Amino acid sequence: MDLPSTPAAKRAEVIYRRRFSPAWRDRLWRMLQPPAPLIHDPRETEVEAPLGRWNLYLGGAGARAPGYVNVDLFAVPGVDVAASAEALPFPDGLFQRVECDAVLEHVENPEKVMGEITRVLAPGGFAHLVVPFCHPFHEYPRDYRRYTLHGLLQLAGSLEVVAAGWRTGPTATLLVFFLEYVKLWLPWRPLRVVAHGVLGWLLWPLRYLDVILRRSARAGRIGNHCYVWLRKPG
């Protein structure tokens, strides 16, 4: 496993550790964070894909994943196994569910990851993939690519496509890019942090415009993240 020792990788690790840190400064930091400028389309979770005895969560550093074995490059609290999704240390057919949410854009070789997901899935098991289409550059710990919905579907390989669509819509795209754009004008990090907080709190209610826009067949032209549910035959 080759964990880059870049400043971005170190920053990512600090962010993950801060998410669960009990220190009062980190608690205050979490309280001041504005709500995310996006909402999820509920159709994404309408698929019936029950958890099994063993389920896998890829790339869950800084997140809690109850019911899953949480695998990430970074061995931070909450991660059960530090490993690369490109070479999973698990036997074939072990997992009933695999979650791969906003990870494929960060791995060196997404085809290898898909090969591993297919291998460790139990016959009849489900994989849920989410990837960004229109989203700012974000290194966790690298950022290699974006996907259209067609590009995501191409990764399915031998897995059956059960459902596919857009998780987050055009307004989410506009808001996340607007926040990044404003920060480009600010040369100092403390200023960017304040701008992100202030603008984030002012703008987040606009995210509900996507409740209307996601009904449009054209919403995907500037959709934010798309998803696919896949099932291993058998």
Ligand X SMILES: C[S@@+](CC[C@H](N)C(=O)[O-])C[C@H]1O[C@@H](n2cnc3c(N)ncnc32)[C@H](O)[C@@H]1O
As a whole number of angstroms, the distance between CA 211 and CA 169 comes to: 9
Q: Is 132 among the residues that bind ligand X (CB under 6 A)?
A: no
Q: Is 86 among the residues that bind ligand X (CB under 6 A)?
A: yes
Q: Is 59 among the residues that bind ligand X (CB under 6 A)?
A: yes
Task: Decide whether 40 or 192 has the Cβ nearer to ligand X.
Answer: 40
Q: Is 72 among the residues that bind ligand X (CB under 6 A)?
A: yes
Q: How many residues bind ligand X (CB under 6 A)?
A: 18
Task: Decide whether 71 or 122 has the Cβ nearer to ligand X.
Answer: 71
Q: Is 49 among the residues that bind ligand X (CB under 6 A)?
A: no
Radius of gyration of the chain from Cα atoms?
18
Q: Is 107 among the residues that bind ligand X (CB under 6 A)?
A: yes
DSSP strand pairing (160-168 vs 121-132) = unpaired
For ligand X, the binding residues in 155-184 under the rule CB under 6 A are none
As a whole number of angstroms, the distance between CA 10 and CA 35 comes to: 25
Residue 177 near residue 134, CB atoms below 8 Å: yes
Q: Is 38 among the residues that bind ligand X (CB under 6 A)?
A: no
- Helix/strand/coil (H, E, C) string of 94-149? CEEEEEEECCCCCCCCHHHHHHHHHHHEEEEEEEEEEEECCCCCCCCCCCCCCCCH
Q: Which residues bind ligand X (CB under 6 A)?
A: 58-61, 63, 71-74, 84-86, 101-103, 106-107, 140
